Structure 1
Amino acid sequence: MSDAPTVAVFRPDDDRLERAATLLEDLGAEPIPDPMLAVEPTGATPRTDADYVLFTSKTGAELVSEAGWKPSDETVCAIGPATADALRAEGYAVDLVPEEFTSSGLVAALSDAVGGARVEVARSDHGSQVLLDGLDDAGAYVHETILYRLVRPTESGKSAAMAAEGDLDAACFTSSLTVEHFLAAAAEAGVREAALEGLDDAVVGVIGEPTAETAAEHGLAVDVVPEEATFEALARETVTTITDE
């Protein structure tokens, strides 16, 4: 039996989950892969009359490419380096990546430039309202296109059962929706309160302040919020916190 700390990871069941598990192993942890998000594409593409088009995920970049989106003169913005890399891998030029890889960071980077401009936000059905409200406050004409819906996989919940048994040392939540889906899976299995108690004794890491707020609203005490909103930073700081305790 391994003495490595068990760390739940909730990334979608694709190369992101594989990379996350490999990173955790490299950090000396035992990853507990438990995908809490599955993608249902809508087939939509960004509108063609926008001055700016904003992407907030790798998934969105891949889906617009599959759907045949062809940009013209738009300023293409990515919320962070992973999204930017995915856009470039699909053959798109990226004009802007904010210093802070969050919705607030995108608003801060664009607020002085988008007054009177048409801004297209292309993302999932669970995107942060912070982005839309911030752009609207900056004077932009904002339109949102839903590229895909995020649902909870029916087989999810392994990590919730482990938390309820006290067998989980840490969890890395990468969005508010992963928090909500984790708790929904726990409730479905009849172990919601026990899972929350188990996480009280574990290290809870979240990828940014919006996720931290969601966790707090649901009674989860957050231990780690990395300064850089990437999974690598989240994993490293979470594993370090386990080791330090």
Structure 2
Amino acid sequence: MSTVKLEGLRNRTVAVTRPPERSAEAVELIEGAGGRALVAPTLELKEAHTESLREVCRRADEWDLVIFTSQAAVESLFQLCREFAGKIRKDCLVAVIGPRTARVAGEHGLRVDIVPEDYTAEGLLDALTGLNIEGWKVALPRTLSARKVLPRGLEMMGAEVLVAEAYRSGLPEDTGPAEELIDGLLEGKVDAVTFTSPLTVENLFKIAGNRRKELIEVLKRVKVAAIGPITLRKLEEHGITAVTPERYTVKDMIAALAVSMGEDVD
């Protein structure tokens, strides 16, 4: 991606609401374009080495299909079960939500067989429709706060699904940066906000407390970017419009935001 495409971010303050360990790419893009990145995480991911995740490891040679919907799920499983890639059968398929998760899975020795064109749960289900997975044993390590679309869809296709809690998604222990973001928005000091999941939206509103309604009104007036349609839908529930890229990646979201902001100054 060229810097030219990001010129709309120059001298603009853009908030990144992802967890700090997932924010580096967005920060680099924003600051590389001459903007100011305000890292204000509204979400914290914590590994959860649960009994269900241990079961995924214990039954490694039973799985017909293993699905990862985030990098965090891959990392948590391999923290617990470093030998997992060597324990699964050679004919076990591995599906992931998108290219970044595929890269992390590959780094841990997994051969990734399926990456959907649409980086959503619905996209994964579409990518699996050509397979007859009736009777398959499917491992799905993820956070339990995720939508039920994927496991329900797999079960409707006849699969036996183990949803294993691999990590927990919650409010950050330190809400100070998010509160500073809210202050900045209400004071007119923030030009744009990026959201990468419905939880990053919901948690910002929780942190806002009695300032929630005022915050929503401000978000209707500043630039907002959503990584994909699921996050967009959560914003639209509150009457907030957002820029959404054609490809649901951080890079494409930042590019779409830059184009949108560049149009405003033309």
TM-score, normalization: structure 2? 0.85
Task: Tell me the CA shift for residue 133 of structure 1.
Answer: 2.0
- Structure 1 residues without counterparts, runs of 5 or longer: none
User: 1:228 and 1:220 mapped to 2: Cα distance?
Assistant: 23
Deviations 1:107-152 (A, max 9, x none): 0001231222122211112222111222122222222111010111
The structure 2 residue matched to 1:17, chosen from 12, 23, 26, is: 23
Task: Tell me the CA shift for residue 3 of structure 1.
Answer: 6.6
The structure 2 residue matched to 1:195, chosen from 201, 211, 215, is: 215
The structure 1 residue matched to 2:42, chosen from 36, 40, 45, is: 36
Task: Tell me the CA shift for residue 175 of structure 1.
Answer: 0.2
Percent identical: 31
Contact kept, 8 Å, 1:42 with 1:147, in 2: the verdict is yes
Task: Tell me the CA shift for residue 26 of structure 1.
Answer: 1.9
Amino acid at match of 2:254: A
Aligned length: 240
1:130 is the counterpart of 2:149 = yes
1:208 is the counterpart of 2:228 = yes
Match of 2:258 in 1: 239
Contact kept, 8 Å, 1:6 with 1:29, in 2: the verdict is yes
Match of 1:150 in 2: 169
Task: Tell me the CA shift for residue 161 of structure 1.
Answer: 1.9
User: 2:216 and 2:187 mapped to 1: Cα distance?
Assistant: 11
Query: Match of 1:191, SS?
Result: helix
1:171 is the counterpart of 2:190 = no
Structure number with larger C-alpha Rg: 2
User: 1:90 and 1:161 mapped to 2: Cα distance?
Assistant: 41
Q: Which moved more, 1:152-161 or 1:174-183?
A: 152-161
- Superposition CA RMSD, Å: 1.8
Deviations 1:18-73 (A, max 9, x none): 22211111233211101122122211242432210100111111111111151412
Match of 1:66 in 2: 79
The structure 2 residue matched to 1:185, chosen from 198, 207, 226, is: 207
Contact kept, 8 Å, 1:165 with 1:194, in 2: the verdict is no
Amino acid at match of 1:9: V
Contact kept, 8 Å, 2:25 with 2:251, in 1: the verdict is no
Query: Match of 1:167, SS?
Result: coil
Which one has the bigger helix percentage? 2
User: 2:188 and 2:146 mapped to 1: Cα distance?
Assistant: 32
Amino acid at match of 2:104: A
Amino acid at match of 2:190: L
Match of 2:128 in 1: 110
Amino acid at match of 1:11: R
Question: Measured at CA, do residues 220 and 162 of structure 1 come closer, stay the same or move farther in structure 2, by a change above 3 Å?
Answer: farther
1:141 is the counterpart of 2:160 = yes
- Structure 2 residues without counterparts, runs of 5 or longer: 1-8
Query: Match of 1:77, SS?
Result: strand
Question: Measured at CA, do residues 21 and 3 of structure 1 come closer, stay the same or move farther in structure 2, by a change above 3 Å?
Answer: closer
User: 1:108 and 1:146 mapped to 2: Cα distance?
Assistant: 24
Amino acid at match of 2:258: V
1:82 is the counterpart of 2:64 = no
Amino acid at match of 1:136: E
Amino acid at match of 1:164: L
